[in-house]
Amino acid sequence: MINLEKQSKTKQMTLVQAVNDALRVALESDANVLLLGEDIGRNGGVFRATDGLQEAFGEDRVIDTPLSESGIVGTGVGLAISGSKPIVEMQFMGFIYPAFEQIMTHVTRIRMRSMGTYSVPIVIRAPYGAGIRAPEIHSDSVEAFFTHMPGIKVVCPSSPADAKGLLLASLADPDPVLFMESLRLYRGEREEVPVEGYEIEIGKGKKVLEGNDVTLLAWGAMVPIIKKAASTVAKEGISCDVIDLRTLFPLDRDMIAESVQKTGKAVIVHEAHSTGGLGNDLVTLINDTSFLYMKAPVERVTGFDVPPPLGSLEDHFLPTESRVIAAIKRVIQF
């Protein structure tokens, strides 16, 4: 694995460009890597995540498929068990439902069912989340369905450099990975991204800011929100330990426990619905590891238990900086 810190040549990239760059590295380095998805070839993907790749690697490696989510994931299963390395794109996470059966009944279980004879090293890329005024169904954030089912890892980067390294690590992983890409972050920020290929270990979170009063936990599109909230409350003298989880299954328990044992307080932020959301597992994890250290009940700031609304209401649906700040203050004043 190439050390990220030692990479000298870098280039400014957005998150979606970093995804594109990772896919290019993957296609260049292994002839078994194939991309499959709707409109990913000639069109370069509806978000340009695969832009230019078909031109560079041909129609047999960057494959425009029929409109057929179950077919894409199901043939991906067949490809993966026979030695190809498929990276499939769900055009939006909200379009993953027709493929849900394939993921639940096969992708997650083939290794166990065959006692390791067959495995499904597939990467399912799924652009997710609200905040870009997309039409109905395009804004879902349903990671909890997948973290609930053992047999698949769930990864969600929040920065361009993480996106590239985590995507390449997902491809190298011998098990299936659901790779969530925030629509809102696709072009949210630019940063220096190493030009060469590198991997960031799956299962490890990232400490974004160091602080002592309260731990803030989020992933994907909510990471910039908690960073902003942390810098706002810093002006009032509240110092936040800010963690980007990066992998949602398996969670980085050590990093979370170490942080909450230091601060004794935690706020979890996710845009997915509250009931059955991953935030609940995080609360359990904190109970299991750090109950006696806690000085306040853990707060959650989440999307409401309503279907992701049409664009005109999504700013109310999504956790905002002010809701996060309110939660921070509640735990601080408890």
Partner 1 sequence: MTDYPLYQCIDKEGHWVGEDERSTQEDLFTFYRHMLRIRTFDKKAVTLQRQGRLGTYALFEGQEAAQVGSALALDGQDWLFPTYRDHGATLTFGADMARTFLYWNGRFEGCTPPEGKNIFPPAVPIATQIVHAVGVAMTEKRLGSGKASIAYFGDGATSEGDFHEGLNFGSVFKTPTVFFCQNNGFAISVPMEKQMNSKTIAQKAVAYGIPGVRVDGNDCIAVFRTVQKALERARAGEGPTLVEAVTWRYGAHTTADDPTKYRDQAQSIEFRKTNDPLTRLEKYMKETGVWDEEWFAQLQTDLSNEINQAVEEMEAFPKPDVNNLFDHVFAEPVWPIAEQKSHYMDHLKGVIS
Residues at the contact surface with partner 1, assessed by CB under 8 A:
34, 60, 63, 65-66, 68, 70-71, 73-84, 86, 98, 101-102, 105-106, 110-119, 150-151, 153, 173-175, 203, 249-250, 253
* Smallest distance from partner 1 to CB 81, Å: 7
Contact 57, 199 (CB under 8 A): no
Nearer to partner 1, 5 or 60 (CB): 60
Q: Which is nearer to partner 1, 78 or 297 (CB)?
A: 78
What's CA 179's distance to the chain center, in Å? Answer: 6
Residue corresponding to tokens 């309260």: 214
Minimum Å gap between C-beta 119 and partner 1 is 7
Task: Considering the complex, state which of residue 89 and residue 299 has its C-beta at the smaller distance from partner 1.
Answer: 89
Nearest approach, Cβ of 245 to partner 1 (angstroms)? 14
- C-beta separation of 11 from 192 below 8 A: yes
Give Cβ neighbours of residue 67 (< 8 Å, ≥ 6 apart). Answer: 38
- Residue placing its CB nearer to partner 1 in the complex, 106 or 300: 106
From the list 106, 138, 270, 273, the catalytic residue is 138
CB of 180: closest distance to partner 1 in angstroms? 18
Tell me how far, at minimum, the Cβ of 148 lies from partner 1, in Å. Answer: 12
* N-term to C-term CA, the chain: 45
Element of type H or E holding 10 = strand 10-13
Residue type for 40, please?
I
81 in Cβ contact with 109 (< 8 Å)? no
**CA neighbor of 242 nearest in space, from 260, 215, 267:** 215
In the bound state with partner 1, the residue whose beta carbon lies nearer, of 121 and 264, is 121
Nearest-approach distance from CB 202 to partner 1, in angstroms: 10
Helix then strand then coil, % of the chain, to nearest 5: 40, 20, 40
Q: Which residues pair with 77 in a beta bridge?
A: none
Give the amino acid at 275. T
Question: In this structure, is the dihedral angle defined by the CA atoms of residues 107, 204, 302 and 222, taken in order, positive or negative?
Answer: negative
Reference 121, options 152, 143, 162, 166; nearest CA is: 152
Nearer to partner 1, 52 or 250 (CB): 250
**CA distance linking residue 324 with residue 330, whole number of Å:** 10
The question of whether 106 is a catalytic residue gets the answer no
> Annotated catalytic sites, by residue?
138
